[in-house]
Structure 1
Amino acid sequence: MTSSYISNPLIFLIDTLIYLYMVVVALRLIMQWAHWEYHNPMVQFIIKLTQVPVKFLRRFIPAAGRWDTATLVLLIVVALIKIIAVGMLAGVLPKGLFWLTILFAELFQLFINIFTVSIIIEVILSWVTPAGSYNPVAPLVGKMNAPLLRPVRRTIPPVAGVDLSPLFVLLGLQVLSMLVMPLLAGRYI
């Protein structure tokens, strides 16, 4: 057995667990931007998972206007921990300013993934949620995706009662990722 026999599953596990926590921290940033209802059970879940480190960081890092800079710093720190942990296990640590580009790439892809998944969730919920029922996730993804979907909905009307705006926004997010990620990773043509 080679050393990768143990290190590959360990890298996968650490990468996945830290990435999931990054998603929760990023959602805490998004909840301020999207004005999520504080009493929603999903919002309470996000706050409970992030409250201890955010509260600690708030002692040293003041808010910038209505933005919680402590949460942003926490997201950056968790992303750096992920890069370092995975890099050490893989035996490849970035050098020089490459740290910064990897950090930007990691955060950019995180938000692209969050919005992609949230749009897919919103579409699926619109198909399966019975009229008049309450789902705690539906109003959150609706408020979160509205700034992305609204301009497309104004431009492209529904076709035979089918809203195609989520499809166009998903395509746009993927094209944006394909254009920006190579630049951040240093693989531009």
Structure 2
Amino acid sequence: MIGLNTAAVYILQTLGSMYLLIVLMRFILQLVRANFYNPLCQFIVRATQPLLKPLRKIIPGFGGLDIASLVLAIVLQFILIALTLLLTYGVIANPLQMLIWSMIGITALFLKVFFFALIISVILSWVAQGSHNPGVELVNQVCDPVLAPIRRILPSMGGLDLSPIFAFLALKLLDMLVIQNLMIMTGMPDVLRMLL
């Protein structure tokens, strides 16, 4: 029988992960120099502004990067991990260990954003090539910095773009060889691995 704690963990992970994704997207959008006049970018800015505005007074940007949004993402991941452990096991782990897990989780989510953006980009290249839809433009702006170095190395294949295949391989290898091994080495519980 499924208890209230399991349901609470599910709701917490679902809603918390959605907002965490929005906060991390705020960092990624500045990282890739996305068009902030895009309606989707405007939504992300409005959704994150209440928490980021006071944090920016303490944590300034550095080198064009929105460090405050990255710190907020790590703090939110830390809170999600702490609440998940509390609801699942009734205990909270060592704060330093949870901070390390939070950074691993943010890195894993960062890679997933690019992985799924690439999948969407490939599908859109088949069905909506040249579209000026805000969603299509945003996906292309997120994918271009990942694909540009690969496109410079790969020779032209007569209009066939193979760069997403190599980007998928690189992202998957990073996940398998770095993220998964870090999760195991730091003793991350299974309930948290499923969250990340």
TM-score range, shorter chain: 0.7 to 0.9
Q: Does 1:22 align with 2:4?
A: no
1:6 alignment partner in structure 2: 4
Query: In the alignment, which of 144, 147, 158 is matched to residue 146 of structure 1?
Result: 144
What's the offset of the Cα at 1:119? 0.6
After superposition, where does 1:104-115 map in structure 2 within 5 Å?
Answer: 104-115=103-114
Change (3 A) 1:5 1:70: same
1:36 alignment partner in structure 2: 34
What's the offset of the Cα at 1:182? 3.3
TM-score for the superposition, normalised by structure 2: 0.85
Runs of 4+ in 1 over 3 A off after TM superposition: 157-161
Q: Does 1:95 align with 2:97?
A: no
What's the offset of the Cα at 1:135? 1.0
Q: How far apart, CA to CA, are the structure 1 residues paired with 2:95 and 2:65?
A: 30
Q: Which amino acid aligns with 2:57?
A: R
Task: Tell whether the 8 Å contact from 1:28 to 1:71 is kept in structure 2 after alignment.
Answer: yes
What's the offset of the Cα at 1:66? 2.3
Matched position secondary structure for 2:134: coil
Structure 1: which 5+ residue stretches go unaligned?
none
Task: Tell whether the 8 Å contact from 1:28 to 1:46 is kept in structure 2 after alignment.
Answer: yes
Change (3 A) 1:127 1:68: same
Task: Tell whether the 8 Å contact from 2:22 to 2:44 is kept in structure 1 after alignment.
Answer: yes
1:121 alignment partner in structure 2: 120
Per mean C-alpha deviation after superposition, the further-off stretch among 18-27 and 54-63 is 54-63
2:162 alignment partner in structure 1: 164
Structure 1, residues 74-112: CA drift from partner, whole Å, max 9, x if none?
111111111111111111532263223211211111101
Q: How far apart, CA to CA, are the structure 2 residues paired with 1:134 and 1:10?
A: 40
Task: Tell whether the 8 Å contact from 2:78 to 2:102 is kept in structure 1 after alignment.
Answer: yes
Query: In the alignment, which of 135, 154, 167 is matched to residue 133 of structure 2?
Result: 135
Task: Tell whether the 8 Å contact from 2:78 to 2:99 is kept in structure 1 after alignment.
Answer: no
1:47 alignment partner in structure 2: 45
Structure 2: which 5+ residue stretches go unaligned?
187-196
Q: How far apart, CA to CA, are the structure 2 residues paired with 1:151 and 1:130?
A: 21
The RMSD of aligned alpha carbons is 2.0
